[in-house]
């Protein structure tokens, strides 16, 4: 395979928070944890099949299984020279000293980037000082930092607020060391159950969601139950995993090697990669003028929710894929439809 990949390991669904927007239904009540042995097998197999650029560790909250996190980072970095990234809510950080200690330990194991969240949802559970301590420690050691801010119509914090709350200078942003991202929650998991539909920010402005997907195939993810997905925004793999975005198979029943090879050759994934989900949705609407859709979206991921979770749309999608010509299949094109 020639595609550069950033493999994501969902180490656990356990989390010390139960944020309203969580697509994975993570929380203190969750017990699922990926075993070290299986994770090492995933790393070895992925390294033999994919052209890996890095390994991302996420959850849940990966710091709830800190020894596992550290051991896997060390293994992947020592054996394959792969840098690591981690996504964290920073709830584990009780002091600047704690932040410095853990960041130092993980850097020695290959940590090169960190993603934190600063928004109204997370601040229900974590102190701002904890997030700032982690960011300051990451800056001290020149890690790449991404600050995610989830927004709805009713929240009080935007990505500009996050920048000010963390006292991040424009120079750090311009240099690329710190990146601020703002996006809405996905309509899946706890967010779908808990959030009022009126809270979602969406639009008919196609510039927000019309384009190819840079994540599909390039950011595969493996869940604690062994389910494999072609991107990292699939949701909670414990309930009907085969119905979720980008499902590729389960490594407990099919060799991971075969799953990854099939993922790279999957027609739908390659069309999403080349054309994007909205181009597919428009093609479906052209073939099915009475197709019922929301019509308002925010991101590519939001349109993918429509493709995978709207039963009427999903049925039309399956028929559409079968109708593609051999040439369209070969080139992963849909323009002829």
pLDDT, tens digit, 9 for 90 and up, residues 158-177: 999 999 999 999 999 999 99
Q: Quick: pLDDT tens for 46-68.
A: 999 999 999 999 999 999 999 99
Q: Are 274 and 158 in the same domain?
A: no
What pLDDT, on the 0 to 100 scale, is given for residue 335?
47
User: At 146, which CATH number?
Assistant: 3.20.20.70
Q: What pLDDT is recorded for position 1?
A: 43
> Could you tell me the two tokens for 10?
């969902």
Give the pLDDT score at 325.
Answer: 72
Examine residue 178 and state whether it is found in any structural domain, yes or no: yes
Q: What is the dihedral of CA 322, 327, 331, 332, to 10 degrees?
A: -10
Structural domain includes residue 167: yes
Cα separation, 102 vs 134, in Å, equals 9
Enumerate residues 6+ apart whose C-beta is below 8 A from 219: 5, 6, 7, 8, 56, 231, 232
Q: 114 and 194, same structural domain?
A: yes
Can you give the residue range of the structural domain that contains 73?
4-202
> Which structure tokens are listed for 87?
């996504």
What CA dihedral angle connects 280, 283, 289 and 294, to 10 degrees? 20
- What distance in Å separates the CA atoms of residue 113 and residue 134, rounded to the nearest whole number? 12
Residue 239: predicted pLDDT? 84
Tell whether 216 is covered by a domain: no
Whether 156 and 295 share a structural domain: no
Considering 157, 187, 202, which residue would you say is the last residue of a domain? Answer: 202
337 residues of the chain, pLDDT tens digit each:
456 899 999 999 999 999 999 999 999 999 999 999 999 999 999 999 999 999 999 999 999 999 999 999 999 999 999 999 999 999 999 999 999 999 999 999 999 999 999 999 999 999 999 999 999 999 999 999 999 999 999 888 999 999 999 999 999 999 999 999 999 999 999 999 999 999 999 999 999 999 999 999 999 999 999 999 999 889 898 889 999 999 999 999 999 999 999 999 999 999 999 999 999 999 999 999 999 999 999 999 999 999 999 999 999 999 999 998 776 676 666 644 3
Distance (Å, whole) CA 36 – CA 157: 38
**Structure tokens that stand for 303 in this block:** 């349109």
Note the helical H segments in 144-213: 159-165, 170-174, 189-194
Task: Name beta bridge partners: 7.
Answer: 55
pLDDT reported for residue 330: 63
Write phi, then psi, for 129 (nearest 5 degrees).
Answer: -60, -35
Q: Same structural domain for residues 42 and 150? A: yes
| pLDDT score recorded for residue 332 | 66
Q: How many residues does the chain have?
A: 337
The pLDDT value given to residue 336 = 40
195 lies in the same domain as 120: yes
Q: How far is CA 149 from CA 52, 181, 184, 185, 318, in A?
A: 28, 6, 8, 10, 34
Domain termination site, one of 202, 226, 244:
202
Same domain, 58 and 193: yes
CA distance 34 to 68: 9
Q: Tell whether 125 and 52 lie within a shared domain.
A: yes
Domain assignment of residue 258, yes or no: no
For the chain, what is the domain count? 2
On whether both 195 and 314 belong to a single domain, the answer is: no
The token duo for 66 is: 């800190």
| 196 and 285 belong to one structural domain | no
Q: What residues are paired with 221 via a beta bridge?
A: 8, 229
């Amino acid at each position: 395979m020639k595609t550069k990949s950033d493999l994501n390991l969902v180490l656990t669904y356990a989390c010390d928070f139960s944020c309203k927007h969580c697509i994975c239904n993570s929380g203190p009540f969750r017990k699922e944890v990926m075993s070290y042995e299986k994770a090492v097998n995933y790393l070895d197999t992925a390294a033999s099949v994919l052209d890996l650029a890095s390994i991302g560790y996420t959850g849940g909250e990966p710091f709830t299984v800190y020894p596992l996190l550290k051991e896997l980072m060390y293994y992947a970095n020592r054996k394959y020279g792969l840098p690591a990234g981690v996504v964290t809510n920073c709830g584990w950080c009780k002091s600047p000293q704690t932040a410095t200690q853990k960041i130092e330990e993980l850097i020695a194991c290959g940590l090169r980037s960190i993603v934190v969240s600063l928004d109204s949802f997370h601040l229900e559970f974590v102190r701002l000082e904890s997030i700032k301590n982690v960011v300051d420690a990451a800056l001290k050691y020149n890690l790449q930092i991404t600050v995610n801010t989830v927004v709805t119509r009713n929240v009080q914090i935007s990505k500009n607020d996050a920048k000010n709350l963390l006292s991040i200078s424009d120079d750090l942003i311009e240099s690329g060391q710190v990146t601020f991202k703002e996006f809405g929650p996905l309509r899946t998991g706890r967010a779908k159950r808990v959030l009022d539909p009126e809270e979602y920010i969406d639009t008919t402005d196609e510039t927000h969601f019309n384009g190819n997907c840079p994540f599909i195939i390039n950011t595969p993810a493996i869940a604690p139950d062994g389910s494999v997905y072609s991107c990292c925004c699939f949701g909670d793999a414990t309930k009907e995993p085969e119905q979720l975005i980008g499902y590729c198979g389960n490594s407990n029943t099919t060799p991971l090697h075969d799953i990854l090879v099939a993922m790279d050759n999957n027609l739908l994934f390659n069309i999403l990669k080349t054309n994007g989900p909205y181009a597919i949705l428009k093609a479906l609407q052209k073939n099915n003028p009475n197709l019922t859709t929301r019509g308002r979206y925010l991101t590519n991921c939001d349109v993918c929710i429509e493709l995978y979770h709207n039963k009427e749309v999903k049925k039309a999608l399956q028929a559409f894929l079968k109708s593609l010509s051999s040439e369209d299949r070969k080139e992963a094109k849909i323009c002829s439809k």
